[in-house]
Amino acid sequence: MSQAFGFSCKGGLNTNLNQFELLTTPGAATELQNFEVDSDGGYRRINGYAAFGDARPNSNNRILGIAVYGDGLIVCSGTNIYFTLDGDTYLQINRSSVSGSGDNYSTFTGRSTLTRTNQGQCSISLFEGSTTYGEIFICDGANKPFYFKMTGSGALTNRTYFAAEVAVDTDKTPSVGVIHDKHFVVGGASAASNTVYYSGTLDPDDFTSTGSGSIQLEDQIVGLKSFRNDLYIFCTNSIFKLSNINNSSTIVVVPVAKNVGCLSHFSIQEIGGDLVFLAPDGIRSVAGTARIGDVELGSVSRQIQSVISDIASSANSFIITSCILRTKAQYRLFYCTTAASTATSKGVIGTLTKNGFEWSETLGIQAPALTSGFNSDGIEKIFHGDNLGYIYTHDSGNSFFSDGTALDIESKYQTPNFDFGDAGTRKTLKYAKISITPEGSVEPSFRIRYDYEDNNIPQPTETNITNILLPSLFGTGVFGTSQFGGSTDPMVRKTITGSGHAANFRIRSNDQKSAYAINGMYIDYVPSGRR
């Protein structure tokens, strides 16, 4: 007599549990590449990315920084800084001797270039101020901070431009900067690696005016993040919190953790009311508690500890970037080397669910520069740039790219090895019913492997999952092609051959077809004799 075994897809990637521990979490994945965990359940193949315009800002020079600004983008590449509306035309904005009242387009483009040398990975901050677009500040660790402001709308020729270098304690070249409570705060300068400098109040381009100052710490500064009313200062081996920056008599810096440090400023993000960052022992969160001034530190990446350990152990060799996708409650972190190809560039995606973060991996997204932000219309925009100088609209379309050429997205979801509740009994599997929600025409493959992928026994051939019907709404279905009142969660039946004491299942696609979600699986099997 046949028996049933079913599970829903939840829990995300887990590389931390052994085969027996995974039996208690059947919905988890042992491989989850180029899928994302849906906060409402299921694993969805991720979107690709689409070319932003037809031009590169600086030939084939790596994109070093990118930020949403007004109705366009700020882009750092090579030794220059650019502004673009559409990705087709780039205005070089690192100009010198700009008029105090601003320059029109003709005067601005006629100014001499402000030379920037050895530009590093760029930290870009927005001071909202009183102007339409606000003011941009850029730190890169090799040059003085760069300031840019733009007013006006419509064609670039109708706008007014301001640009300048910002002097921070004479010749300091901070690597990171952030806007915090009416101040521009910087740190990580090679000549003063343990010193935080902050500008005057409401005067972000002046580090000598009223309200400015500096604080020297006991550790090398790696990153800065404004969080609620405090400034968190992430160092190599410690974390501090600066409070009351606007009151010289009560300003204070207190330690948050003395044995936990941060590996990259570009890993720090705010999500779910917490800060998350890459530490040597994992991705951690700084979570506030009800006790005044108290925080707890805890890893949120235990399920993928082996993956994170590989990143952390080679962090100095990687360009690390991250962003938040607010509509999906996601934290995305990418890492690549300067010489990495698109095909070898990796990342992790953490989706914040009711059970905490659930994870997956990416392969094929090269993002040495990455940003998410809101444009002047209040719409969230996400972009990344690659090592070859291209810029892309992130999380868009159904393909990846390398040197302007569209590539397939290879996605994999593999289950744990299931013994169906009895490791000693051989099972003959009859069929699987797979819950798949397609977003267009899709045809992933299905593979089963018995007895922990034992090469000494016959293994079934990998086959395609066909006849996946698109969900159809009442009144839109076509007779003969759509199910009347089509389900939003169709079950696709797949015949299975072979037998074994345990089995795992893999669903894979490698194409430029539509995204799809895998929600769960039902297995029908017949138990036989015990060994």
- Write the pLDDT tens digit of every residue in 3-44: 999 999 999 999 998 888 888 899 999 999 999 999 888 999
Check whether 500 has a pLDDT greater than 90: yes
User: Taking the mean position of all CA atoms in its chain, how far away is CA 324?
Assistant: 6
Mean pLDDT computed over 275-286: 95
Q: 40, 137, 63: which is closest to 93 by C-alpha?
A: 137
Domain span at residue 512 reads 3-10+417-530
pLDDT score recorded for residue 292: 46
pLDDT score recorded for residue 291: 44
Indicate whether 483 belongs to any domain.
yes
Q: How many residues does the chain have?
A: 531
Q: 174, 164, 170, 188: which is closest to 139 by C-alpha?
A: 174
Indicate whether 448 belongs to any domain.
yes
Indicate whether 495 belongs to any domain.
yes
**Phi and psi at residue 15, in whole multiples of 5°?**
-105, 5
For residues 95 and 112, the answer to whether their CB atoms sit within 8 Å is yes
pLDDT score recorded for residue 160: 97
- CA 373/CA 390 separation, integer angstroms: 19
Indicate whether 284 belongs to any domain.
no
Check whether 290 has a pLDDT greater than 60: no
Which pLDDT tens digit goes with each residue over 92-150? 999 998 998 999 999 999 999 999 999 999 999 999 977 889 999 999 999 999 999 99
The amino acid present at 90, given as its one-letter code, is Y
Indicate whether 512 belongs to any domain.
yes
Which pLDDT tens digit goes with each residue over 400-442? 999 999 999 999 999 999 999 999 999 999 999 999 999 999 9
Structure-block tokens of residue 75: 């882009």
Q: 166, 130, 172: which is closest to 148 by C-alpha?
A: 166
pLDDT score recorded for residue 176: 98
Mean pLDDT computed over 51-64: 96
**Phi and psi at residue 143, in whole multiples of 5°?**
-130, 165
DSSP element (H, E) containing 428: strand 425-438
How many helices and strands in the chain, by DSSP H and E?
Answer: 3, 44
- CA 492/CA 442 separation, integer angstroms: 12
Indicate whether 72 belongs to any domain.
no
**Domain tally, the chain:** 1
Residue 204 CB neighbours (<10 A): 24
Structure-block tokens of residue 53: 């315009």
- Backbone region of residue 53 per phi and psi (left: phi > 0; alpha: psi in -120 to 50; beta: other values): left
Q: With a threshold of 0.75, does the pTM exceed it?
A: yes
The amino acid present at 265, given as its one-letter code, is H
Indicate whether 425 belongs to any domain.
yes
CB-based burial of residue 297 (10 Å sphere; 0-12 exposed, 13-18 middle, 19+ buried)? middle
Mean pLDDT computed over 47-75: 96
Cross-strand bridge partners of residue 183: 180
Mean pLDDT computed over 239-248: 95
Indicate whether 224 belongs to any domain.
no
**Given pLDDT bands bounded at 50, 70 and 90, which one contains residue 488?**
low
Give the per-residue SS3 of 2-48: CEEEEEECCCCECCCCCHHHHCCCCCCECEEECEEECCCCCEEECCC
- CA 227/CA 214 separation, integer angstroms: 19
Structure-block tokens of residue 343: 């095909």
Check whether 181 has a pLDDT greater than 60: yes
Structure-block tokens of residue 81: 């800084």
Structure-block tokens of residue 84: 């673009």
Give the CB-side neighbour count of residue 97, counting CA atoms within 13 A: 6
Q: In what order do the strands lie in the sheet with 369-374?
A: 50-51, 391-393, 380-385, 369-374
- CA 53/CA 271 separation, integer angstroms: 30
